Amino acid sequence: MFALDQVCKRYGQATALDGITLTFERGRTTALIGPSGCGKSTLLRLLIGLLTPDAGSVRFDAQPLEAASLRRLRQRMGYVIQQGGLFPHLTARQNVTLMARHLGWSQARIAPRLADLTALTHFPADGLDRFPSELSGGQNQRVALMRALMLDPEALLLDEPLGALDPMIRYELQEELKQIFATLGKTVVLVTHDLAEAAFLAHAIVLMRAGRVVQAGCLTDLMTAP
Ligand code: ADP
Ligand code: ADP
């Protein structure tokens, strides 16, 4: 679904990614794991086209992520960041439906989709007309997930989606994410620095250090590697 070939990315003098070649399989959940600063977020932002590589190529569904096709390809991806990234001046409902309304979806199309998403994410219906500041951290992340799923994207890119949550809420949401991934069967790329979370949620794990891939494979491969 995604393919990176010899991707390099620098910020000024600092090298964030140093020759990454990787593929992410359709319908699978892959976790990107590694210490803070190793390049995980940068890699995710390249996958969604928020950044462009200095060298190498990024493809989505065999098509290069380049300016001409970016908008169209981006609509096939959902993106969630650690602190939700919700618009603070919009209610949960407005945040979730913003893109659909922008694309001209009718109320008759939006309403059932919203009902499906609140059920899927266990979001309370009476929270839909609250603003992000009136919702808990866990509820904000549910809203962010609904927003990412609204247009039924093929790929879901999650950057430490549970990283800012209290442990109990975090475990609860891990269970729910696992259910959601299994139900929807989407291509998921999950950034985390928690190996247990990666092992629990992902089919494949990519271990990174200092802008490079140290190892990639399923968990048992990683555990049994020399
Ligand atoms: P991770 O997500 O694994 O914590 P990042 O992709 O955020 O890593 O960062 C990789 C490296 O690039 C780090 O050394 C970080 O400090 C640097 N970096 C990230 N974003 C920027 C930026 N906007 N400007 C300069 N350096 C950055
Ligand atoms: P993460 O590790 O989740 O990417 P950070 O806290 O490292 O988060 O970075 C938060 C923001 O700051 C990001 O937009 C990142 O690109 C930027 N950033 C990270 N490192 C640097 C840096 N050395 N110089 C400038 N901006 C940076």
Span 59-89, pLDDT tens digits: 999 999 988 888 889 999 999 998 878 999 9
Distance 37 CA to ligand 1 centre (A): 5
3-class DSSP state for residue 123? Answer: coil
Kindly tell me the sign of the dihedral angle through the C-alpha atoms of 59, 30, 176, 90. negative
Q: How many C-beta atoms lie closer than 10 Å to residue 55's C-beta?
A: 13
Helices 137-149 and 167-184 pack at an angle, to 10 degrees, of: 20
- In angstroms, the CA 152 to CA 30 distance is 19
User: HSE (CB half, 13 Å, CA atoms) of 38?
Assistant: 18
Given the CA of residue 81, which atom of ligand 2 is nearest to it? Answer: 3
Ligand 1, atom 1, residue with closest C-alpha: 37
Please give the mean pLDDT across all residues of the chain.
93
Three-state SS across 61-111?
CCEECCHHHHHHHHCCEEEECCCCCCCCCCCHHHHHHHHHHHCCCCHHHHH
Ligand 2, atom 16, residue with closest C-alpha: 42
Instruction: Using most ligand atoms within 8 A of CB, pick from 11, 13, 15, 190 the residue to mutate for ligand 2.
Output: 11
Q: What is the ipTM of this complex?
A: 0.77
Which residues have CB under 6 Å of ligand 2?
36, 41, 160
pLDDT surpasses 70 at 132: yes
User: HSE (CB half, 13 Å, CA atoms) of 93?
Assistant: 13
Strands of the chain (E only): list them: 2-11, 14-24, 29-33, 55-60, 63-64, 77-80, 155-159, 187-192, 204-209, 212-217
Distance 184 CA to ligand 2 centre (A): 31
Contact 146, 152 (CB under 8 A): no
Ligand 2, atom 27, residue with closest C-alpha: 11
Whose CA is closest to 161, among 226, 54, 149, 101? 149
Ligand 2, atom 18, residue with closest C-alpha: 37
- In angstroms, the CA 216 to CA 30 distance is 10
Ligand 1, atom 26, residue with closest C-alpha: 11
Which residues have CB under 6 Å of ligand 1?
11, 14, 16, 34, 36-42
Q: Which ligand is nearest to the CA of 36?
A: 1
131 torsion bin: left (phi>0), alpha (psi -120 to 50), beta (else): beta
Return the percentage of the chain with pLDDT > 70, whole number: 99
- In angstroms, the CA 121 to CA 141 distance is 10
pLDDT surpasses 70 at 36: yes
Span 153-212, pLDDT tens digits: 999 999 999 988 999 999 999 999 999 999 999 999 999 989 899 999 999 999 999 999
pLDDT surpasses 70 at 225: no
Distance 111 CA to ligand 1 centre (A): 39
Given the CA of residue 159, which atom of ligand 2 is nearest to it? Answer: 3
- In angstroms, the CA 119 to CA 60 distance is 30
